[in-house]
């Protein structure tokens, strides 16, 4: 039987409700209460949902943006450590079913680097999840070089997760259509922009061991990869082709993207070894995601690799 591992599965830590509430505008109160209850549960309800979807292990991450929206740097550092300690205790109760990504105070690059190292070396986490920009600062900012250097030295994968777009983008693109600002479009634009900026910044030339995970089958990157690579190759000088950087340093998950066409495109551009199973629970349901991949048009060895084999290799599970 194939071991099914899901990589973008969320939780909520006590005291973080206010941070999370900033990302859920427009959600009906009843739905909000239901999602919040599921995020906060680590017991029978979450395990039952995993069992219903046939998921052996969930790699848990704090529902964003967490402390990345905190204006006080000292508070962000303290609260990030609190969330990581909380998650570590929950994982210890069910290490057969749970693993974790660390939550980081990206306002302080040195503190974020130290917390990443503590998460990986002391708490046994698989890496970290970063929720896009931090108070408007993007991940290619020069001040973050020390953080990326540590992530590279640790060989710790970093999952870049969507967050609401930069306020200027929100105003220009979504003021008249706020319903588009999250998962329908805004999250995609925000995360795709981050990944492209990281490549153009030269980060992967400086730290060639960096490993980046992106959900939702790359936020359209596989579909755009040929055109982006072709155009940039004619307009700017880069040590390697844009697509080469993407295929070397990025892994994609199926979180919230249960589409045969998107999966086929992603495999064609990235190779099946770069694709990993995820749900985005509780914002998506486990069972439909698992049933989709059960029937997706891939070979059985490739299906097994996507369901769990690739994650086992990358995250050393």
Of 21 and 262, which is predicted with more confidence?
A: 262
Residue (of 185, 69, 194) closest to 140 by Cα position: 194
78-83: average pLDDT: 96
Residue 100 in this model has a pLDDT that exceeds 90: yes
For 164-217, the pLDDT digits (tens) are 899 999 999 999 999 999 899 999 999 999 999 999 999 999 999 999 999 999
For 116-131, the pLDDT digits (tens) are 999 999 999 999 999 9
Instruction: Identify the pLDDT of residue 17.
Output: 78
Q: Is-contact 293 277, C-beta < 8 A?
A: yes
For 223-253, the pLDDT digits (tens) are 999 999 999 999 999 999 999 999 999 999 9
Residue 28 in this model has a pLDDT that exceeds 70: no
Instruction: Identify the pLDDT of residue 33.
Output: 77
Q: Catalytic residues, which ones?
A: 280
Cα separations in angstroms, 292 against 119, 183, 261, 303: 33, 20, 12, 11
Fold of 5-315: TIM Barrel (3.20.20)
69-91: average pLDDT: 95
Instruction: Identify the pLDDT of residue 43.
Output: 87
Cα separations in angstroms, 17 against 31, 32, 130: 15, 11, 18
% of residues, the chain, pLDDT over 70: 96
Instruction: Identify the pLDDT of residue 3.
Output: 86
Confidence of residue 272 (pLDDT cuts 50, 70, 90): very high
């Amino acid at each position: 039987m194939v071991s099914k591992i899901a990589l973008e599965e969320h939780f909520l830590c006590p005291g973080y409700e206010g941070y999370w509430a900033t990302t859920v505008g427009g959600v009906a109160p009843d739905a909000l209460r239901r999602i919040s209850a599921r995020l906060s549960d680590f017991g029978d309800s979450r395990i039952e949902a995993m069992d219903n979807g046939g998921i052996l292990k969930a790699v848990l991450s704090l529902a964003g943006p967490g402390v990345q929206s905190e204006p006080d740097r000292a508070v962000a550092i303290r609260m990030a450590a609190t969330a990581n300690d909380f998650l570590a205790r929950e994982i210890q109760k069910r290490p057969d079913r749970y693993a974790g990504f660390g939550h980081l105070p990206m306002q302080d690059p040195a503190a974020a680097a130290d917390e990443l190292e503590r998460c990986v070396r002391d708490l046994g986490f698989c890496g970290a999840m970063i929720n896009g920009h931090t108070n408007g600062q993007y991940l290619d900012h020069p001040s973050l070089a020390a953080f990326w250097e540590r992530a590279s030295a640790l060989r710790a994968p970093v999952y870049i997760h969507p967050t609401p777009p930069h306020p200027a983008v929100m105003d220009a693109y979504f003021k008249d259509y706020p319903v588009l600002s999250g998962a329908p479009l805004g999250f995609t634009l925000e995360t795709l922009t981050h990944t492209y900026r990281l490549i153009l910044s030269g980060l992967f030339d400086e730290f060639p061991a960096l490993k980046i995970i992106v959900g939702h089958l790359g936020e359209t990157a596989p579909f755009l990869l040929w055109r982006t690579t072709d155009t940039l190759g004619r307009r700017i000088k880069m040590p390697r082709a844009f697509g080469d950087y993407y295929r070397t340093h990025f892994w994609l998950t199926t979180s919230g993207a249960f589409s045969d066409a998107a999966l086929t495109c992603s495999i064609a551009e990235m190779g099946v070894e770069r694709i990993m199973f995820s749900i985005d629970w509780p914002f998506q349901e486990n069972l439909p995601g698992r049933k989709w991949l059960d029937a997706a048009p891939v070979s059985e060895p490739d299906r097994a690799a996507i369901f769990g084999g690739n994650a086992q290799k990358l995250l050393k599970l």
